[in-house]
Amino acid sequence: MRRLALAAVALAAGVVLAQERAIPPGELKSGSAFLGSDLRALQNDDFANPGMLWVERGEKLWSEPVGKKTLACASCHKDQSMRGVAASYPKIDKASGNLVNLEGRINLCRTGRMGAEPLRYESEELLALTAYLARQSLGAPTAARIDGAARAHFEAGRASYHLRRGQMNLSCAHCHDAQWGKRLLSETISQGHPNAYPAYRMEWQTMGSLERRLRACLSGIRAEMLPYGSQEYLDIELYLAWRAQGLPIETPGVRR
């Protein structure tokens, strides 16, 4: 009887885990897998990828002194490799206990350590620095942590991801978990992974952050767009990072 009960518990746990991951790790596909071969080739071309313009700018900004203390990012992060750093975001900032994404981390450094003004979301400078940082994790597997203080944000992000919204009454999951690989008009629905952001999007004709991409989806389903940097976006970003666990970083991605 006891053994039976244990088996039942194990089975139930298995079911819960299976439910947690709508797309099994073996079936994860980066957004680039849903592109045409021309855009994929453009992304993989280190020279022609237009996002590299921002990466190059970010490299310059990295060692440019700013703020009251005339410090550059490179003044503190001297010989330190930033490889893999971007792949671990969003993460909990130890000092404040808040969840921060890469953009938030850059601005925390600016306001807290450099005595500089925070950079505006979608500003050329913030996109450039984020792209430069993320580029250094090229190929590194996405590996956000959801334990400890991050757990509550993860749960909130998961709830947001599954929340029906807007006039079309759709959640993220309706397309990106249930219908990926199928056609939506002329486009193939992707799995909705964040591993190539900030990315250069043809529709934008410029570089944009993951939050800009989230807003584009919300606008598409005629739902309310939240302000940049809002807590709900951060939570969703954490859930998306966990969902994409193991997918290699592709920044700067090229997308439709």
Partner 1 sequence: MAARIQIPREARRGEVIEVRILIQHPMETGYRHDDVGHLIRRNVINVLSCRYNGVEVFRADLSSGISANPYVQFYTVAEASGDLEFTWIDDEGERGSERQSIVVKG
* Contact positions vs partner 1 (CB under 8 A): 47-48, 50, 52-53, 56-57, 202, 205-206
Question: Residue 43 CB, nearest distance to partner 1 (Å)?
Answer: 13
> In sequence order, what are the beta bridge partners of 200?
207, 254
Residue number with CB closer to partner 1 (53 or 221): 53
C-alpha of 173 from chain center: 16
Residue number with CB closer to partner 1 (234 or 254): 254
Indicate if 217 belongs to the active site: yes
Q: Determine contact, residues 26/103, Cβ cutoff 8 Å.
A: no
Phi-psi region at 239: left, alpha or beta (left = phi > 0; alpha = psi -120 to 50) = alpha
Question: Residue 227 CB, nearest distance to partner 1 (Å)?
Answer: 17
Q: Please report how the helices 124-135 and 52-62 are oriented relative to each other, as an axis angle in degrees rounded to 10.
A: 90
Beta-strand runs (E) in the chain: 91-92, 99-100, 183-184, 187-188, 199-201, 206-208, 253-255
Question: Residue 44 CB, nearest distance to partner 1 (Å)?
Answer: 14
Question: Residue 57 CB, nearest distance to partner 1 (Å)?
Answer: 6
Question: Residue 53 CB, nearest distance to partner 1 (Å)?
Answer: 5
In angstroms, rounded to a whole number, what is the distance separating the alpha carbons of residues 176 and 170? Answer: 11
Residue number with CB closer to partner 1 (54 or 154): 54
Tokens 């939506």, residue located: 184
φ and ψ at 188, to 5 degrees?
Answer: -95, 130
**Token pair in block for residue 6:** 């244990």
Residue number with CB closer to partner 1 (12 or 48): 48
Residue number with CB closer to partner 1 (186 or 205): 205
Enumerate the active-site residues: 217
